[in-house]
Chains A and B, each alone.
Chain A
Amino acid sequence: MRTRKSKSVGIDRRAALKVAAGAGIAAAAGMAFSKRARAATTLNIWTGYPELVPYYKSVAEAYAKTKPDVTVNLLSSSLREMEQKLSAAIPTGTGPDIFDIGSGIAIKFIDAKLLDPNPADVETYLKSGAWNKFTVDWFTQGGKTYGLPLLEGRAQMFWNRAMFKEAGIADAPKTFGEIMESAKKLTKFDATGKMTRSGISMRLSGQGSGITEKFRFVLEPAGGTLLVKTASGKYHNGFDNDAGRKALQFYVDVVQKDKVDDPKVPHDADAFANGHTAMLFREAWVIGEIKKKNPNLDYGVAPIPRWDASGPVKGIIQPWGVHVNGRSKQKEASWDFLKFLTQPANAFQITNMTGWVSAREGVDWGPLLKQTPQFEVFVKPPKDIVLFSDPILPFWDEIQTRIADRLPGMFIDPALNGNPAKVAEAIKSLATICDNVLKQAGAYGTA
């Protein structure tokens, strides 16, 4: 009996020990698991704008206060490199959870079904009035919405007040004719005839679609457009016309006839920030560059002028979106982060920190404008501005790049100087290049 009892007690003890050990292991494992589960959500974000990294980090830190189990990993590279990385990674299922990208690449992912339409709550959020109709339409394809707008590129005219004052010019030019007249007064040469300061900095050299993009800053006010969409949904060039010829002629005159810019002198944001040019067409990020490189620069920002007094003020707008990878394993957490990322407070932050203008409506820009009034024309553009944008087409970049291959040679070709027939011939050749890409993509049509 004792033995039995004792045996029975012994069994109970062992059983109890086993249960205790098992419970301990289970509890430890459970704790470890729950700890892992809490810290398991890591969102990988890839951006093609390295200057946005501090912004993403700051938002991630703020987000971690409400969702401590979520951590964010960032990878940034130049825009073109990021497009290549994403194009290889997304189809192979090795991409990030979240990425920002232009519509030209996004549409390829959508066509290949690599991006899911927005979940119902995200779509409701997108259409809640936080963004204007133009922007919402931009993120709509075939009746479905994809991604959320993050920022928008708007180009305006930067002009150096001090240089204008010195040249006796009261205000920023209002027409392209005035641009040329002002530029002639603002350009400086040394004793040997070498240009030391350009009147206006145009994109004249290098390679890549940016050259054509800047050409459109002149082409659109002149009344042309790169692509015209037909009633049947096809496309053809929209610049083998008087507007196209006027735009190219303007460039040729800038370089050759009026000599207010030269491929050899410094260009772009650097040149403007460092006082090597008096005028520049560029986006708001240049404000950030000027703050860093020459904070005392006396400059203003105005809309890109009308072609002539009767023409419209045209302004480019390029919304830029953030997307959740269709193959992400953390879609829910990713969308939640994106909704947080695009809140009004963060929309203000992106502009304040990076110079890029948030695409969101209803942001109180007062504090920003008080500090940097040059943002005014970007965040509160004139009411009468006629917006134009990039068509969302997979072959858009190719069209712009192929035209860009030819433009720098044309700008400096002496045969085009004062020779309208040659200018017309050059424009026709560009139009043929454009239409050939459309034909190859099966998108060419005139009716």
Chain B
Amino acid sequence: MVGRLSGASPDGTRRNALVEAVRYWADEHFSRGNWRLVLFCFIVLAPVLALFGYVRMGPIISSVILSFHKWDLINPIKPFIGWANYAELLEDENFWLSLKNTAIYALLTVAMSTLLAVPLAVFLAAKTKLSVVYQTIYFLPVITPMVPMSIAWKWIYDYNHGILNYVLSLVGIPSVAWLTDPGIALYALVIMGVWKVIGYNMILLLVGIRNIPSTYTEAAAIDGADGFQRFRYVTLPLLKPILLYVLVTSSINAFNVFTQVYVMTLGSQSAPGQAVRVLVFDIYQNAFQYFRFGYASSEAVMLTLIVLGFTLIQFRVARNKEGQDG
């Protein structure tokens, strides 16, 4: 590189050397001679990147900084306290409870919504007259705003007048205290969470299935593979990138569950707060109710790291599987 730099700088100035270095780097990392295109791409992307940095990265960095301070919303004195917020977090029962509840919620919601979305997508991939109608029906919950939806589910789950208990009573199942029973409330939220995201996952998987060239499945059929074998050995392996995307996005969304918990614990006829305490709710309470923004930020940082960790694990597992399959 030094030779290239010195050779490519006729006047020997530092500025030209730098330009050459950038050019060399671009040539090395992108196709040779295309560095102008790369530069153009960066320039075009710059406004978006700047906006992203301001509205996304800025708050994240601020949260990390805040987490090392005793940062009360109202109090003007906000001293630096090092790792104290994180140390307190490790001894906070509410944090561990909310972490446990969030993990259960995320695991069940992601697993169920993915497992149910796959057969739905396979079923709807066959272009029948009603498949578009079904797709629309399944996708409707995705576009329904969360607050009115949560209020509607609060009514559905009502012990005395809820439609769910009414339907169960038709088959002889006694009424269930979906929201007020602490042992059931979290699972009631899982059901609602699955209902909310299953349509989104189904649509993604459906697109994935329809993009698989029919020649593969036709070849498998000629080789004597039945329907399940075609799905197991052709469709599923080719769906892996989409499945990975579904798992990653569903996990991130599930770990960020908040609105439905907030709505469903409001008022006297609602879920006991502790039974459905999740991480974002705990962050909200510490930040906006107790005004302990520093402490809440340390929780937010932990949540970010947990979600990041899960995402990396999912990528690693998927990559290893791909390697093994390959």
Residues of A within 8 A of B (CB): 80, 83-84, 87-88, 90-91, 108-109, 111-112, 114, 192, 194, 201, 203-208, 263-268, 395, 397-398, 401-402, 404-406, 408-409, 412
Bound-complex Cα distance A206 to B288 (A)? 18
When C-beta atoms are compared, the residue in chain A nearest to B72 turns out to be: A108
When C-beta atoms are compared, the residue in chain B nearest to A192 turns out to be: B174
When C-beta atoms are compared, the residue in chain A nearest to B97 turns out to be: A405
Inter-subunit contact A111/B75 (CB<8 Å)? yes
Inter-subunit contact A404/B273 (CB<8 Å)? yes
With a cutoff of 8 Å between Cβ atoms, the chain A residues found around residue B181 in the complex are 263
With a cutoff of 8 Å between Cβ atoms, the chain A residues found around residue B74 in the complex are 87, 90-91, 108-109, 111-112, 114
When C-beta atoms are compared, the residue in chain B nearest to A81 turns out to be: B288
With a cutoff of 8 Å between Cβ atoms, the chain B residues found around residue A114 in the complex are 74
A65, chain B: closest CB distance, angstroms = 37
When C-beta atoms are compared, the residue in chain B nearest to A398 turns out to be: B290
With a cutoff of 8 Å between Cβ atoms, the chain A residues found around residue B144 in the complex are none
With a cutoff of 8 Å between Cβ atoms, the chain B residues found around residue A401 in the complex are 285, 289-290
A-B contacts, 14 listed (Cβ < 8 Å): A80-B289, A83-B289, A108-B75, A112-B74, A114-B74, A205-B272, A206-B271, A207-B266, A267-B269, A268-B267, A405-B277, A406-B274, A408-B273, A408-B274
Bound-complex Cα distance A405 to B275 (A)? 9
Q: B241 near A: Cβ within 8 Å?
A: no
When C-beta atoms are compared, the residue in chain B nearest to A92 turns out to be: B73
Q: B160 near A: Cβ within 8 Å?
A: yes
A437, chain B: closest CB distance, angstroms = 9
Bound-complex Cα distance A203 to B265 (A)? 13
- Are A412 and B160 also in contact (CB < 8 A) when A194-B175, A205-B268 are? no
A212, chain B: closest CB distance, angstroms = 12
- Are A84 and B76 also in contact (CB < 8 A) when A206-B266, A267-B268, A408-B272 are? no
Bound-complex Cα distance A398 to B92 (A)? 14
Extra contacts, 7 of them, besides A112-B76, A263-B181 (Cβ < 8 A), are: A87-B288, A205-B270, A268-B268, A398-B289, A401-B285, A405-B94, A409-B275
Inter-subunit contact B273/A405 (CB<8 Å)? yes
With a cutoff of 8 Å between Cβ atoms, the chain A residues found around residue B76 in the complex are 91, 112
B53, chain A: closest CB distance, angstroms = 23
Bound-complex Cα distance A90 to B291 (A)? 13
Bound-complex Cα distance A431 to B142 (A)? 44
Inter-subunit contact B180/A263 (CB<8 Å)? yes
- Are A409 and B180 also in contact (CB < 8 A) when A87-B291, A111-B75, A206-B265 are? no
With a cutoff of 8 Å between Cβ atoms, the chain A residues found around residue B160 in the complex are 264-266
Q: B159 near A: Cβ within 8 Å?
A: yes
With a cutoff of 8 Å between Cβ atoms, the chain A residues found around residue B277 in the complex are 405
When C-beta atoms are compared, the residue in chain A nearest to B286 turns out to be: A398
Inter-subunit contact B290/A397 (CB<8 Å)? yes
Q: B149 near A: Cβ within 8 Å?
A: no
When C-beta atoms are compared, the residue in chain A nearest to B177 turns out to be: A264
With a cutoff of 8 Å between Cβ atoms, the chain B residues found around residue A87 in the complex are 73-74, 288, 291
B-side binding surface: helix, strand, loop or mixed? Answer: loop
Inter-subunit contact A206/B268 (CB<8 Å)? yes
A441, chain B: closest CB distance, angstroms = 11
The one of B73, B159, B268, B290 in contact with A204, judged by C-beta atoms closer than 8 angstroms, is B268
CB proximity to A under 8 Å, residues B241-283: 265-275, 277
B64, chain A: closest CB distance, angstroms = 21
- Are A207 and B272 also in contact (CB < 8 A) when A88-B73, A264-B159, A401-B289 are? yes
When C-beta atoms are compared, the residue in chain B nearest to A91 turns out to be: B74
Inter-subunit contact A266/B269 (CB<8 Å)? yes
**Per-position 1/0 for B67-88, Cβ under 8 A of A:** 0000001111000000000000
The one of B75, B266, B274, B289 in contact with A409, judged by C-beta atoms closer than 8 angstroms, is B274
- Are A206 and B273 also in contact (CB < 8 A) when A84-B288, A268-B268, A408-B182 are? yes
With a cutoff of 8 Å between Cβ atoms, the chain A residues found around residue B272 in the complex are 205-207, 263, 408-409
Residues of B within 8 A of A (CB): 73-76, 94, 159-160, 174-175, 177, 179-182, 265-275, 277, 285, 288-291
- Are A207 and B265 also in contact (CB < 8 A) when A264-B159, A405-B94 are? yes
Bound-complex Cα distance A267 to B179 (A)? 14
With a cutoff of 8 Å between Cβ atoms, the chain B residues found around residue A108 in the complex are 74-75, 291
With a cutoff of 8 Å between Cβ atoms, the chain A residues found around residue B290 in the complex are 395, 397-398, 401
Bound-complex Cα distance A91 to B72 (A)? 11
B193, chain A: closest CB distance, angstroms = 19
The 8 A-B pairs at the shortest CB distance, nearest first, are namely A207-B273, A267-B268, A408-B272, A263-B180, A264-B159, A268-B268, A207-B265, A206-B270
Bound-complex Cα distance A360 to B182 (A)? 44
Bound-complex Cα distance A319 to B159 (A)? 37
B166, chain A: closest CB distance, angstroms = 14
When C-beta atoms are compared, the residue in chain A nearest to B292 turns out to be: A398
Bound-complex Cα distance A409 to B182 (A)? 7
B258, chain A: closest CB distance, angstroms = 13
Bound-complex Cα distance A385 to B198 (A)? 58
With a cutoff of 8 Å between Cβ atoms, the chain B residues found around residue A406 in the complex are 274
- Are A412 and B285 also in contact (CB < 8 A) when A203-B268, A205-B270 are? no
Bound-complex Cα distance A267 to B74 (A)? 35
With a cutoff of 8 Å between Cβ atoms, the chain B residues found around residue A263 in the complex are 177, 180-181, 272
Bound-complex Cα distance A83 to B289 (A)? 8
When C-beta atoms are compared, the residue in chain B nearest to A87 turns out to be: B73
With a cutoff of 8 Å between Cβ atoms, the chain B residues found around residue A194 in the complex are 175
Of B174, B179, B181, B269, the most chain A CB neighbours within 10 A belong to: B269
Of B266, B272, B291, the most chain A CB neighbours within 10 A belong to: B272
With a cutoff of 8 Å between Cβ atoms, the chain A residues found around residue B291 in the complex are 87, 108
B87, chain A: closest CB distance, angstroms = 13
With a cutoff of 8 Å between Cβ atoms, the chain B residues found around residue A201 in the complex are 268
With a cutoff of 8 Å between Cβ atoms, the chain B residues found around residue A90 in the complex are 74
Bound-complex Cα distance A265 to B158 (A)? 9
B70, chain A: closest CB distance, angstroms = 10
Bound-complex Cα distance A40 to B6 (A)? 70
Bound-complex Cα distance A201 to B159 (A)? 16
With a cutoff of 8 Å between Cβ atoms, the chain A residues found around residue B273 in the complex are 206-208, 404-405, 408
With a cutoff of 8 Å between Cβ atoms, the chain B residues found around residue A109 in the complex are 74
Inter-subunit contact B289/A397 (CB<8 Å)? yes
Bound-complex Cα distance A22 to B265 (A)? 67
When C-beta atoms are compared, the residue in chain B nearest to A408 turns out to be: B272
B267, chain A: closest CB distance, angstroms = 6
Bound-complex Cα distance A264 to B268 (A)? 10
Bound-complex Cα distance A402 to B273 (A)? 11
When C-beta atoms are compared, the residue in chain B nearest to A202 turns out to be: B268
B187, chain A: closest CB distance, angstroms = 17
With a cutoff of 8 Å between Cβ atoms, the chain B residues found around residue A268 in the complex are 267-269
With a cutoff of 8 Å between Cβ atoms, the chain A residues found around residue B288 in the complex are 84, 87
With a cutoff of 8 Å between Cβ atoms, the chain A residues found around residue B180 in the complex are 204-205, 263-264
